[in-house]
A and B are shown apart, each in its own frame.
Chain A
């Protein structure tokens, strides 16, 4: 039973436009959410995170939004660049453990 779901396997956007990646979770004990980026033949690397006490966190071109009532979070990339093309994983964990659960990933392609 996947507790973290990314329902879009792929997304294609034009360079300069906004990319929106979505993630849903089912476990109400999760209170920390992370996004990882993965290039082929490499391990995932941390991108941005958000605690459940916030509804938005920004880091440069990347913003994560959290809607706790809907158990939904999204990652916005503005403006999108070709170097952003990668697989993006959503992950969630509880405050007192490092047991992180991942979604299936969304492959983002940014076209020049």
Chain B
């Protein structure tokens, strides 16, 4: 049982490049989300999805795009990378109720130069 798998673990991008961070879960969770972690800011919600075909914005959605075509996968796309997007990104999944704890992936450390 792999849980939540994120790829890649590390990535360096040049300003203006685009890329997709991959996230997959094998727990059949309906809810998936993306967070970014920055020093002194904790984890901030970027986008989330309550099920296949349904996505919504979180606290800091600008510059990111998501889609949810299957229950298992929830990729995060950076459309045109900026240095302000240098961060550690975490994907999480949980059962569909507000009282459910989230399971996190190991994170992707992204540097934009």
Contact = CB atoms under 8 A, between A and B. Distances in A.
Contact of A43 (B41, B42, B90): B90
Given A42-B107, A96-B98, A98-B33, A104 B40 contact: yes
A43 B107 contact: yes
Contact of B42 (A34, A97, A99, A105): A105
B96 interface: yes
Interface string B75-112: 00000000000000010101011111111111100000
Contacts, number: 68
Contact-residue size bin, chain A (C-beta under 8 Å from the other chain): 20 to 34
B110 to A, nearest CB: 14
Interface in A21-45: 31-32, 34, 36, 41-45
Contact-residue size bin, chain B (C-beta under 8 Å from the other chain): 20 to 34
Contact of A32 (B45, B99, B105): B99
Interface string B55-70: 0001100000000000
Given A100-B45, A102-B44, A104-B41, A95 B104 contact: no
A95 B4 contact: no
Interface in A75-102: 89, 91, 93-102
A2 B45 CA distance: 12
A19 interface: no
Q: Please give me the 8 A-B residue pairs with the lowest Cβ-Cβ distance, nearest first.
A: A43-B104, A46-B101, A104-B42, A102-B43, A102-B42, A98-B31, A95-B98, A32-B99
13 contacts: A9-B40, A43-B104, A43-B105, A46-B101, A89-B43, A98-B33, A98-B48, A100-B45, A101-B45, A101-B59, A102-B35, A102-B44, A105-B42
